[in-house]
Amino acid sequence: MKRIFILAFLLAGCTLSGAEIRVGVARKVITPETPIWLSGYASRNKPSSEILHDLWAKALVIEESKSRRIIIVTTDIIGFSHDVSEDVTRRIITKYGIDRSQLLLNSSHTHSGPVIWPSLNVMYDLSISDLQNLVKYSRKLTDAIVEVIDSAMINLSPGQLSVGHGIADFAINRRESTEKGFIIGINRNGPVDHDVPVLKVAAPDGRLLAVLFGYACHNTTLSEYSINGDYAGFAQIELEKAYPGTTAMFLAGCGADQNPEPRRTVELAMQHGKSLAGAVQKVLHDEMLPVRSPIRTDYTEIGLEFRPFDPAKYQDEILGDDRFRQQRASLLLEAYDKGWNVTRLTYPVQAVRFNNDLTILALSGEVVVDYSLAMKKKYPDVNLFVAGYCTKVQCYIPSRRILMEGGYEPDISMIYYGLPGPFADNIEDKIFSAINRVMKNTGERPSKRQAENQ
């Protein structure tokens, strides 16, 4: 059900600065004890061996009054499971009386962080002890996110916001066309989004309190057994070194079909992190635009259909010799036998608009870059950042083009997520409809030309 909540409706041109608002920033380590199973690669066959650097949960609260707040949480994890996302949301709504649209959860999608059970558990053959460790971690993670929001609330003080954009070019399209179909490779001519949006959070005296920045690229430079935040983790470390006392927060973009290039070494992860941090620093040193009130937010959930469910297909997978398909089929056939709905997926869409200065469109799941590029084309007059990996990460979210092409993102990946697949052909239409709704409800309109073409 769609809900809209107006965080502030002040006089036009009024800035979010000085005594008008307060901002709260906090951070908390969420590094698990090692050894623990790491998520993201089915090729891993053992738990983690070391900690390269800490993982963090970070919170930014913007408050005009006790009833008018926005909370943004970033995390160095593979993605929020449904359970963790719902538990955090319930506890924060109960504690602070906020509307659902006032809480934005995002994960960096590092492939060097712990499994957030039960998401992607098809990838691993876990012992009871392994499973218990992951359940304990999920509980600690949930508590830590609530605690970091609490700390940000306690730390509220006068602040001001401004926005700018930079460029980082290490992301490439990974969908390579071959005679055998599309594979994860290198497609230097494929669509990319090299934009680096930067939201600066400062005290009235100009002191930098926090910087929220984004990029559309998989955090897959590394595939070893050490715990770390990949290039996004290194970028945050670099920025916090450059600006002591500042909290750097990474907001993942629509990078589901984008990989860092080159990759596979710690040195390259550090290199990409420095490249991204450098782009952010350049923006911070240039003139930035003030971010003004009012702020409006909207949140909706829609149903995305899968293609018709055929039990015989999954029975055949059970009879096959692929253990990943066998595990996926077992989950689905058990759910089907119990009468549970295996025909659709609940999908959240969220928008946060700061006057006419900045709009964050927050999409759930592993979203391909086509959605970001399409929305920027549709709303060319809007300073728009399209984030993926928000609320929860259930699976890949392909565009119509990628759905027709096939390959890992629209089809094979669904095995590891334990879902039927692929999606029905109307997935793009349904998501665009939901996006248009939340954009409209927060006051955004497509360009005149786009509106005439609809």
* pLDDT given for residue 17 in this prediction: 40
Task: Say how many residues make up the chain.
Answer: 454
Asked if residue 319 and residue 197 are part of one domain, the reply reads no
* pLDDT given for residue 449 in this prediction: 52
* pLDDT given for residue 448 in this prediction: 57
Calpha distance 324→115 (Å, rounded) = 16
11 vs 160, residue with greater confidence: 160
Q: Is 381 a member of any domain?
A: yes
Asked if residue 320 and residue 221 are part of one domain, the reply reads no
Question: Taking 80 as the threshold, does the pLDDT of residue 34 lie above it?
Answer: yes
Asked if residue 113 and residue 68 are part of one domain, the reply reads yes
Q: Is 414 a member of any domain?
A: no
Residue 410 and residue 402 in contact, taking contact as beta carbons nearer than 8 Å = yes
Domain boundary among 391, 406, 424: 391
Tens digit of pLDDT for each residue in 56-77? 999 999 888 776 789 999 999 9
Domain count for the chain: 2
Question: Taking 60 as the threshold, does the pLDDT of residue 18 lie above it?
Answer: no
Asked if residue 387 and residue 327 are part of one domain, the reply reads no
Asked if residue 145 and residue 60 are part of one domain, the reply reads yes
Asked if residue 192 and residue 89 are part of one domain, the reply reads yes
Asked if residue 321 and residue 184 are part of one domain, the reply reads no
Closest CA to 58 of 42, 34, 77: 77
Q: Is 32 a member of any domain?
A: yes
Closest CA to 73 of 23, 107, 112: 107
Asked if residue 367 and residue 273 are part of one domain, the reply reads yes
Question: Taking 70 as the threshold, does the pLDDT of residue 16 lie above it?
Answer: no
Question: Taking 80 as the threshold, does the pLDDT of residue 446 lie above it?
Answer: no
The model's confidence at residue 6, banded by pLDDT at 50, 70 and 90, is very low
Report the alpha-carbon angle 32-33-39, nearest 5.
50
One-letter amino acid of 63: E
Q: Is 415 a member of any domain?
A: no
Closest CA to 417 of 388, 394, 390: 394
Question: Taking 70 as the threshold, does the pLDDT of residue 452 lie above it?
Answer: no
Question: Taking 70 as the threshold, does the pLDDT of residue 13 lie above it?
Answer: no
Residue 253 and residue 363 in contact, taking contact as beta carbons nearer than 8 Å = no
Closest CA to 196 of 154, 248, 160: 248
* pLDDT given for residue 445 in this prediction: 75
Domain that includes residue 26, residue range = 3-299+346-391
SS3 labels along the chain: CCEEEECCCCCCCCECCHHHCEEEEEEEECCCCCCCCECCCCCCCCCCCEECCCCEEEEEEEEEECCEEEEEEEECCCCCCHHHHHHHHHHHHHHHCCCHHHEEEEECCECCCECCCCCCHHHCCCCHHHHHHHHHHHHHHHHHHHHHHHHHHHCCEECEEEEEEEECCCEEEEEEEECCEEEEEEECCCCCCCEEEEEEEECCCCCEEEEEEEECCCECCCCCCEECCHHHHHHHHHHHHHCCCCEEEEEEECCCCEEECCCCCHHHHHHHHHHHHHHHHHHHHCCCEECECCEEEEEEEEEEEECCCCHHHHHHHHHCCCHHHHHHHHHHHHHHHCCCCCCEEEEEEEEEEECCCEEEEEEECEECHHHHHHHHHHCCCCCEEEEEEECCCCCEECCHHHHHHCCHHHHHHHHHCCCCCCECCCHHHHHHHHHHHHHHHCCCCCCHHHHHHC
* pLDDT given for residue 180 in this prediction: 92
Question: Taking 50 as the threshold, does the pLDDT of residue 197 lie above it?
Answer: yes
Tens digit of pLDDT for each residue in 230-241? 999 999 999 999
Q: Is 51 a member of any domain?
A: yes
* pLDDT given for residue 19 in this prediction: 33
Tens digit of pLDDT for each residue in 257-306? 999 999 999 999 999 999 999 999 999 999 999 998 788 899 999 999 99
Stated pTM of the model = 0.92
Asked if residue 325 and residue 239 are part of one domain, the reply reads no
Q: Is 188 a member of any domain?
A: yes
* pLDDT given for residue 409 in this prediction: 97
Asked if residue 322 and residue 261 are part of one domain, the reply reads no
Asked if residue 279 and residue 201 are part of one domain, the reply reads yes
**226-227 and 50-51 beta bridge pairing:** parallel
Q: What is the share, in percent, of the chain residues with pLDDT greater than 70?
A: 94
Q: Is 412 a member of any domain?
A: no
Q: Is 417 a member of any domain?
A: no
Q: What is the mean pLDDT of residues 387-392?
A: 98
* pLDDT given for residue 248 in this prediction: 98
Q: How far is CA 275 from CA 215, 225, 266, in A?
A: 12, 24, 14
Closest CA to 7 of 348, 351, 252: 351
